[in-house]
């Protein structure tokens, strides 16, 4: 056994047998921000066989405070996060196979990425993608680890098809938030703590130590010195359309996905949520006012930032002016509007 992993194999629950299992495993990592880079580095250093990294964004200066694989030159050159992460990870451990995809991932992309994947790790920043991950996980029987953080708060839960409630089951009961790092900020220890929970669970799953798996949902607030572990096993629903007796995987259906389109003849993209919802424009205006210029009337809210203008209507429909790039528009939408 390679001496590189000697301290890890000395840990009895892993040992040399577990290390050999790790080397044969393939992890799909969705997102290369704070959670993605933290998970990727830990698993690559630990000797997982293959990591596939998917991210649609590029490195910005504000990322360097907490996204540990990136350096200043990546931000200066606006290197795509997946590419910058792969470059650094290959320097960390050349034995690990690393694939990098610059993708705005959706159901079709997941269908092509999921083959031979043993575990999916959620390192995303929006629930559109998480719900797609959830349905892909259930459809193909691949475990996934949910993780989220904002401010000093974090949450994580491991979802095993046919055993645990899925994220769709939990949505109506567990408060899993709507703020983002760009509207509420974040401290790096909160992201690091979520990574700790995710990578620990990942090692258990990848070494097939199923009995050690944490069965409860965990949440914490580092600033308030609070932590809770919630038994959510009773929330699994037999009639859940994602994981129930007769699943239909609704979030893989086009009708249940956020729609986006470039407006004909205009330097603008329209984004429409999957379901109509009445947005509280007054509350959103208060949140955004410190970050850019906010104008409002009874029907819509206009927010100007980064030479872009986001116009939000009460039904959730949003126009992003100043770009024809759908990926860029989606990034701005999720960054500022959750």
The tens digit of pLDDT for each residue in 1-35 reads 468 999 999 999 999 999 999 999 999 999 999 99
Domain that holds residue 333: 258-337
Q: Based on the fold, state whether residues 108 and 185 are members of the same structural domain.
A: yes
Quote the pLDDT of residue 103: 82
Q: Based on the fold, state whether residues 274 and 202 are members of the same structural domain.
A: no
Q: Based on the fold, state whether residues 124 and 190 are members of the same structural domain.
A: yes
| Residue 27: alpha-carbon gap to chain centroid | 14
Q: Based on the fold, state whether residues 192 and 67 are members of the same structural domain.
A: yes
- Number of structural domains in the chain: 2
* Spatial CA neighbour of 153 closest among 134, 131, 170, 175: 175
From the CB of residue 265, how many other CB atoms can be counted at a distance below 10 Å?
Answer: 6
End residue of a domain, out of 235, 252, 269: 252
Q: Based on the fold, state whether residues 117 and 238 are members of the same structural domain.
A: yes
Q: Based on the fold, state whether residues 143 and 289 are members of the same structural domain.
A: no
Q: Based on the fold, state whether residues 26 and 140 are members of the same structural domain.
A: yes
Helix 81-92 and helix 34-46, axial crossing angle in degrees, nearest 10: 20
107 three-class SS: helix
CATH number at residue 60: 3.40.50.720
Sign of CA dihedral 12, 15, 18, 19: positive
The rounded distance, in Å, linking the Cα atoms of 13 and 217 is 22
The rounded distance, in Å, linking the Cα atoms of 129 and 133 is 6
Q: Based on the fold, state whether residues 46 and 80 are members of the same structural domain.
A: yes
Quote the pLDDT of residue 106: 84
The rounded distance, in Å, linking the Cα atoms of 164 and 213 is 12
Q: Based on the fold, state whether residues 245 and 262 are members of the same structural domain.
A: no
Q: What DSSP state is assigned to residue 58?
A: B
End residue of a domain, out of 252, 270, 300: 252
Q: Based on the fold, state whether residues 234 and 146 are members of the same structural domain.
A: yes
Helix 34-46 and helix 188-206, axial crossing angle in degrees, nearest 10: 40
Quote the pLDDT of residue 105: 84
The rounded distance, in Å, linking the Cα atoms of 39 and 220 is 19
The rounded distance, in Å, linking the Cα atoms of 198 and 143 is 12
Q: Based on the fold, state whether residues 19 and 82 are members of the same structural domain.
A: yes
pTM of the model: 0.81
* Spatial CA neighbour of 27 closest among 8, 2, 52: 52
End residue of a domain, out of 222, 252, 282: 252
CATH number at residue 264: 3.30.310.10
Cα torsion at 57, 61, 65, 66 (round to 10°)? 10
Q: Based on the fold, state whether residues 152 and 270 are members of the same structural domain.
A: no
The tens digit of pLDDT for each residue in 246-261 reads 999 999 986 776 677 7
Would you write out the chain's pLDDT as a tens digit for each of its 338 residues? Answer: 468 999 999 999 999 999 999 999 999 999 999 999 999 999 999 999 999 999 978 888 889 999 999 999 999 888 889 999 999 999 999 999 999 998 878 888 899 999 999 999 999 987 888 999 999 999 999 999 999 999 999 999 999 999 999 999 998 766 555 667 767 789 999 999 999 999 999 999 999 999 999 999 999 999 999 999 999 999 999 999 999 999 999 999 867 766 777 765 568 888 888 776 788 899 999 999 999 999 988 777 889 998 899 988 887 888 899 998 888 898 899 889 87
């Amino acid at each position: 056994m390679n001496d590189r992993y000697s301290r890890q194999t000395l840990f009895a629950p892993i040992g040399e047998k577990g290390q050999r299992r790790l080397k044969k495993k393939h992890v799909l990592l969705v997102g290369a921000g704070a959670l993605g880079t933290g998970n990727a580095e830990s698993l690559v250093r630990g000797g997982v066989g293959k990591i596939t990294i998917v991210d649609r964004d590029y490195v910005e200066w504000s990322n360097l405070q907490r996204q540990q694989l990136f350096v200043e030159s990546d931000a200066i050159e606006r290197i795509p996060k997946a590419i910058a992460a792969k470059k650094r990870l290959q320097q960390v451990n050349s034995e690990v196979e690393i694939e990098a995809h610059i993708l705005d991932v959706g159901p079709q992309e997941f269908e092509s990425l999921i083959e031979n994947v043993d575990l999916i790790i959620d390192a995303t920043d929006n629930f559109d993608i998480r719900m797609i991950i959830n349905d892909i996980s259930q459809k193909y029987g691949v475990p996934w680890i949910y993780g989220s953080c904002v401010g000093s708060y974090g949450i994580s839960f491991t979802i095993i098809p046919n055993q645990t409630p899925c994220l769709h089951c939990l949505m109506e009961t567990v408060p899993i938030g709507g703020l983002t790092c760009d509207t509420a900020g974040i401290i790096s220890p909160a992201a690091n703590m979520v990574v700790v929970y995710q990578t620990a669970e990942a090692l258990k799953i990848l070494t097939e130590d199923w009995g050690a798996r944490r069965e409860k949902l965990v949440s914490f607030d580092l600033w308030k010195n609070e932590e809770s572990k919630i038994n959510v096993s009773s929330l699994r629903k037999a009639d859940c359309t994602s994981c129930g007796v007769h699943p239909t995987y609704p979030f893989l259906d086009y009708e249940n996905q956020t729609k986006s389109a470039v407006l004909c003849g205009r330097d603008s993209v329209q984004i429409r949520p999957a379901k109509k919802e009445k947005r509280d424009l007054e509350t959103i205006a208060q949140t955004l006012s410190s970050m850019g210029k906010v104008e409002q009337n009874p029907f819509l809210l206009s927010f100007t930032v980064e030479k872009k203008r986001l116009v939000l209507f009460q039904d959730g429909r949003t126009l992003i002016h100043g770009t024809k790039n759908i990926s860029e528009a989606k990034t701005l939408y999720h960054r500022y509007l959750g």
